[in-house]
Every structure is written in structure tokens, then in C-alpha cells.
Structure 1
Amino acid sequence: MMTKSGTKSSHKSGLAPGSLIHIGDIHHPDTKLTLIDYSEDHCEQRSLSSIDDALKYRDQDSITWVTIEGLADASIVESIGEHFNIHPLVLEDILNTHQRPKLEEHEDYLYIVLKSLAPDNDQFNIAYEQVSLIVLKNFVFAFKEKTDSLFSLVATRIENSHGRVRSLGSDYLMYSLLDTIVDQNFGILDQLDETLAALEDDIFTDPTPKMLEKIHQIKLEVIKMRRYISPVRDLSANLLRSESELIKPSTQIYLRDVHDHVMRIIESIETHRDILSSLLDIYLSSVSSKLNEVMKILTIFSAIFIPLTFVAGIYGMNFKHMPELAWKWGYPGVWVVFITIATSLYFFFKRKGWV
């Protein structure tokens, strides 16, 4: 096995299947290992210096949850594979952070990979993190790219609760982690609602080129969301259809709830895509309407000055005999003609509703 960090996908070309190379951004150079071991009557939470520290929990009847945060050190993933008999291709997929969400069923374990989405700032930029789960009979491994508080609420529930989460098995823990990842998307969609509502108001009041850039940026983020979340529909459906002994019938109802949430999120994303397309049409219509207003004003001014230019052109000619040139009131008379023509045209346009 090879261990290497921060490698591009192209660098794996020609290597043997199952070569353990980290592919993707290195968010943390160090890998953090935490363990929670629990049953109905006890809960132990600790940090691990290596996977060897978790091996003593393997033969116990309790549920053990190990979280690996930071994938730069491929040797840790390799050690898990050796001690828990995980297929090298699964380990390879864990270290490749460009995986499509999927479920793989093996004889003794389940492998699940999906993307965790979280808002990055107030401008509706989304941060993405790949999360991989290996579910065994009494062990659950969670592999994360970043050190964050993604699963903190699940850990708190386990630590403080003596109810369902403590009494059920590793499949229920798997459900809790999936539910946490999926439900994060509702917060993103709420932020998207607020962003689009504010953007719609601005477009109607004063459309600017910067709004067009913002619509384009949001549309790209929504497309990314759709790309990462749409496959989760198949993942959750496959979990419902799974005949693995690791998933108890009592857990199916909770997995069905996750599937329903995924469907709602996908439908909401499609709705927001339509809204973004409508906002783009509204922006273009507003800009076109604004341009039409400007062109209408310019056209009205042109229409008023055309006859004035005609009159001025006549009196600007160098004819020798022009009676008005010798007339005492010739100059004021021309101005009266100008004002009369301009006023008449203005009231004519106003009567037509053009101004």
C-alpha cells in the first residue's frame, strides 16, 4: 500500500487498484481520532492516539463510534482496513474525496459516502465536505475531511440520553448521522429563500449588472447542490430496500423518514432553480423596460426638435430676399413658432399616453 497526501486524481493513473492515496484538498494536516462507546447503562467518550486504542472495544457488546477527522494520513485508514477486514477499494474510495454519493453492501459491513453541505458565508456560498461511513455490527466509523461540529448534537444526545439512541444498535447510529447530514440542507434552503426574496425586491426597484452576477453565482451553487444531493435519493432508497442483517426492521421507519427529507430537499432545489430562471427573466425584462423608457424619452425629444430643426434650417439659408429678415418682429416671431410647435407636440404626446 502507498500513502501520500494531497494528490490530484491524475496522479493515480497507472497505480494498482486499492492504492491508498489521499485525493483532494488537505483541510487539516493532522488527523483527529475520537471514540464514543455506549450502551444502555454507560457512555465513554475519549480521544485516540491510534486505531490500536479502539481494538479493545471490538469484543464488547456496546456500540462503538469512531470519528476520523482529516484524511491526510492515509496510514490510519489503512490500519482500520487491516484490523476490521475492510476491502482495499473501499479504503481507496474513502481517501478519494471526489466520490459520488452511494451505498455499498458487503458481507460484514455497509459503506456509505455522501456530501455534507454547510453555508460558508452570508453571500450564499456553500462549503462541501465528503463524509464516509463504515457500519459494522457494533462499530461505526465516520471519516470526515474537516474538524468541525457536524456530529456534535448526535454525540450530545448519546452522552445525555438513556433512551432510544442508547438502546438501539449501530444501524440507528448510522441513521442519526445520515439524518444530521441531510437535515443541514434545510437550513441552506431557508437561507436561499431569504437571499432570493431580497434579490427579487432589488431587481424590481433598481436592477444593476451586479445583480446579474449574483444570480449567476447563486445558480452555480444551486447546480452544485443538486449534483451532490440528487444521488442521495438513490442511496436512501437502496437503504430501504437493503436486505442486510445490519439494518433491523425497526430502523426502516427512520430511514424512510430520511428518504422523505431527501425528496423534499430535491423538490425544493428544483423549485429554486425555476425561481432563479424567473429572476433572470425578470432582470432582463426590467433592464429592457428601463432601456425602453430611456429610448422613449429620447424619441420624444427627437420628435419635438425635428420640426424646430426644419424651421431653423429654412431661416438659416442664405437667400437674398427673405421678407422676415427685414421685419422688426421676425426674431420673436420665430421663437413663438418654436414654442407653439413644441407645446402642441408635448400635449399631443401626453394625450396619447406616451409621456
Structure 2
Amino acid sequence: MAMTRVRPGRATRSLFKSRHRPHSVPVSGRPDSAVIDWAAYIDGHRVSTDTVADAVRLIRDGRLTVEEESAGFVWVGLHEPSATELAELAEVFGLHPLAVEDAINAHQRPKLERYDGVNFFVMKTVGYVRKEPIGPEVVETGEIMVFCGRDFVVTVRHGAHGELGPVRARLEGDPERLALGPAAVVHAITDRVVDGYVCVADAVQEDIDEVEEAVFSPERTDESRRIYRLKREVIQLKRAVGPLAGPLRNLGSRRFVPAEIKEYLRDVEDHLTRVREQVESYDELLNPILHAHMTQVTVADNKDMRKISAWGAIFMVPTAIAGIYGMNFDFMPETEWKFGYPMILGVIAMACLSLYRGFRRNGWL
């Protein structure tokens, strides 16, 4: 694969000059700083170098020593880099300031843009995680930004999801695919991101099925809070999945993508379409579940109100009779009769029993 060879500038010679470290090692000696991984790839095979500058020099000069000559591309991976770290790479690879600013600040929508021959691709990553030991699972999002040139790929990852270490390892195990150049890396990353969508969508589907079963079960449960939470998680998932369709379709039409990779990108696009339709159906499914649950709650409340009203009507009978005979007038019927008290108790009992049977027959009790 022919690559453009240019003489590295001063920034290339000084890039991470004092940082002789293997990949996946924190920079600046701080455990919370960016993690960087780099490699030069020639004909699909990895060439280990001590520094990023050596990898760039190997590819762009075509040699690491006087005897070695080859061409390929460099893949540099960053995790939440600082502005200084990304600025050094921007100077070496000619990254546009606007794209660099987006990569530092994150919180971008999925998009594909081109700056001076460098393609800038943004994707959302998702994960379904449990923040508390006994709390519900929620959808968390991150971002992956990819700068893709003719002889380099720079990936910037934000968030805890979408680790690219397995992607690099899988590609290095397939030299023929990796020999296709930076486009092969872009495809592998998009494939992993979309696979993450599928996993999260399946997990959300399981929770929706559980809620649906609970709503229509004979037991009375309050699932309104859980349904609203699932609707919020579905919205988060839709914001990540939906906007990626356009950029992914445009990526397949770019000239730097070989025909072999375009076929694989179409397959990724099919997977994205399926998961997007799946996520959209969740919202359509949760709405009737919520309506059914609210209807059940209303019906249950009405039943409770009928029971309360029925018992209230039954207890009004002895209350009314006792209130009448508690007024202590001198001239009241049956006050001097020795059977008056048992008779009143009998009347109260018969009236209450009649009301109880009537309410029970009508389904109020």
C-alpha cells in the first residue's frame, strides 16, 4: 500500500522523546492521566518502536535505520487526553484545530467531517451498568473520535466503554485485513461500537420483558418508576444509535476506503439499522405498558374507593340509629319497653347484613 513520505519536522523528532514506555501505561506518572498506545504497521504486521516519533519516522521516512525501508501507517490510541498531549499529535499529523477541540471537549453528536485531507469520525459508545450494588442498571455513554489520514489513525476515547485494546489485538491477528490500511482500523472500531449497541439493546429488552410480565401479573405491584426509568434509558440509547446512520453511510462512500472494507461497512450498517429499529420499537412498546399499568392503578383505586364507600354505608346505619336514640328526649318510642333495646340491635344487624349482601352481590365487597 503506497504511502506519502515526508520529512518529519521538529515536532516529530521531539514527540514523547523522553517517554520510553510500552502501550497502556499512564503518561506523566499520574494514574488518572491519558493512556496512550501506538504502533507502526507495515504490510499488516506490527513494528514495535520505543516512541511515537520512531513510529512516525519509520512510516514517513520509510526507514527506522539506514538499512530498513518500508511503508505503512501509524495507529496512536489515546484515552481522555489533555489539551497538551493532543496538541503535540495535532502538530505532527496536521490535525485541524476545530477537530482537536471537539476531541478534547467531547460531548459531540456522531458525525463524519473532513479537514484538509483528514477524516474526523465521531461515534457514541454505550454501556449498561449498575452504579449501585442493588440499584438499577442505566445506560452510560462515551465517545470515540477517530482521525484518519493516508498514513495514520489517531483514536481518542472518552468514557469507560468501548475499549479498543481487543480491536487492536484482533486486527493484528489478521494481517491481510490490517494491510488494507487505516480504513481497516476505522471499520473494526465501528464494528465494535455497533456490537456494543446490540448488547445494550438486548439487555434493555430483557428489562422491558420483566416489566411487562410484572405489569400483567396477578400480583399488584407499582412499576411506574421502573417504566419511566426504562423510557429514559431508551432515549439515551436512541441518541447514540440514531445519529450514527448518516455518518456511517457517508463513510462507505469515501475514496480512501478500499472496496473490500466497503463491503464490511455495509454489513455494519445493516447491524446498525436493525438495532436502531429495535430501539425505536422499545418506545412504542413501553407506552402501552405504561398506559396499561396506569389503567390498572386507576381500576385498583376505584375498587378501594368502592370498598371504603360500602363499609362506610354499612356503618352509617348503626351510627344513625344510635344517634337518634342518643338524643335523650323524654317522649321517644320504645324507650320504656323492655324489648326496645334488643329490637334496635336486631334492626341494626338486619340492616347491616342486608347492605353487606347487596354490596357483595354487586362486587363492591
User: Quick check: 1:133 aligned with 2:146?
Assistant: yes
Task: Indicate if the aligned counterparts of 1:29 and 1:70 stay in contact, CA closer than 8 A.
Answer: no
- Mapping 1:208-247, distance limit 5 Å: 208=222, 211-240=223-252, 242=253, 244-247=254-257
Task: Indicate if the aligned counterparts of 2:151 and 2:182 stay in contact, CA closer than 8 A.
Answer: yes
User: Quick check: 1:340 aligned with 2:350?
Assistant: yes
| TM-score, L = length of structure 2 | 0.79
Cα distance 1:92–1:323, how it changes in 2: closer, same or farther (>3 A)? Answer: closer
Task: Indicate if the aligned counterparts of 1:115 and 1:130 stay in contact, CA closer than 8 A.
Answer: yes
Deviation at 1:321, TM superposition (A): 2.7
Cα distance 1:57–1:222, how it changes in 2: closer, same or farther (>3 A)? Answer: farther
The one-character-per-residue Cα deviations of 1:205-228 (angstroms, maximum 9, x if unpaired) are 3333xx433333332232222223
Counterparts of 1:109 and 1:246 in 2: how far apart (Å)? 10
Deviation at 1:292, TM superposition (A): 1.2
User: Quick check: 1:35 aligned with 2:38?
Assistant: yes
Partner of 1:179: 191
Where 2:108 maps in the other structure, the secondary structure is coil
Where 2:71 maps in the other structure, the secondary structure is coil
- Mapping 1:51-62, distance limit 5 Å: 51-59=52-60, 60-62=70-72
The one-character-per-residue Cα deviations of 1:250-286 (angstroms, maximum 9, x if unpaired) are 2222111222222222222221122332333233223
Moved more, 177-186 or 271-280: 271-280
The one-character-per-residue Cα deviations of 1:224-261 (angstroms, maximum 9, x if unpaired) are 22223221011112223x3x331122222211122222
Q: Quick one: which amino acid aligns to residue 137 of structure 1?
A: R
Partner of 1:260: 270
| TM-score, L = length of structure 1 | 0.81
Partner of 1:18: none
Deviation at 1:77, TM superposition (A): 1.8
Partner of 2:114: 105
Deviation at 1:148, TM superposition (A): 6.4
Task: Indicate if the aligned counterparts of 2:112 and 2:250 stay in contact, CA closer than 8 A.
Answer: yes
Counterparts of 1:145 and 1:160 in 2: how far apart (Å)? 26
The one-character-per-residue Cα deviations of 1:271-326 (angstroms, maximum 9, x if unpaired) are 11223323332332232222112101111112223333333333223332334222
Task: Indicate if the aligned counterparts of 2:142 and 2:159 stay in contact, CA closer than 8 A.
Answer: yes
Q: Quick one: which amino acid aligns to residue 42 of structure 1?
A: H
Cα distance 1:348–1:342, how it changes in 2: closer, same or farther (>3 A)? Answer: same
Counterparts of 2:326 and 2:360 in 1: how far apart (Å)? 31
Q: Quick one: which amino acid aligns to residue 258 of structure 1?
A: V
Percent of pairs with identical residues: 28
Task: Indicate if the aligned counterparts of 1:38 and 1:44 stay in contact, CA closer than 8 A.
Answer: yes
Partner of 1:206: 220
- Mapping 1:51-90, distance limit 5 Å: 51-59=52-60, 60-72=70-82, 74-90=83-99
Where 2:95 maps in the other structure, the secondary structure is coil
Unaligned runs of 5+ in 1: 1-26
Counterparts of 2:162 and 2:247 in 1: how far apart (Å)? 24
One of 162, 168, 185 as aligned partner of 1:155: 168
Q: Quick one: which amino acid aligns to residue 342 of structure 1?
A: C
Cα distance 1:146–1:301, how it changes in 2: closer, same or farther (>3 A)? Answer: closer
**How many residue pairs end up in the alignment?**
321
Cα distance 1:149–1:180, how it changes in 2: closer, same or farther (>3 A)? Answer: closer
Counterparts of 2:230 and 2:137 in 1: how far apart (Å)? 7
Deviation at 1:104, TM superposition (A): 0.9
Where 1:125 maps in the other structure, the secondary structure is strand
Where 1:82 maps in the other structure, the secondary structure is helix
Where 2:127 maps in the other structure, the secondary structure is strand
Deviation at 1:38, TM superposition (A): 3.6
Partner of 1:8: none
Counterparts of 2:271 and 2:231 in 1: how far apart (Å)? 22
Moved more, 321-330 or 182-191: 321-330
The RMSD of aligned alpha carbons is 2.6
Partner of 1:298: 308
Deviation at 1:41, TM superposition (A): 6.5
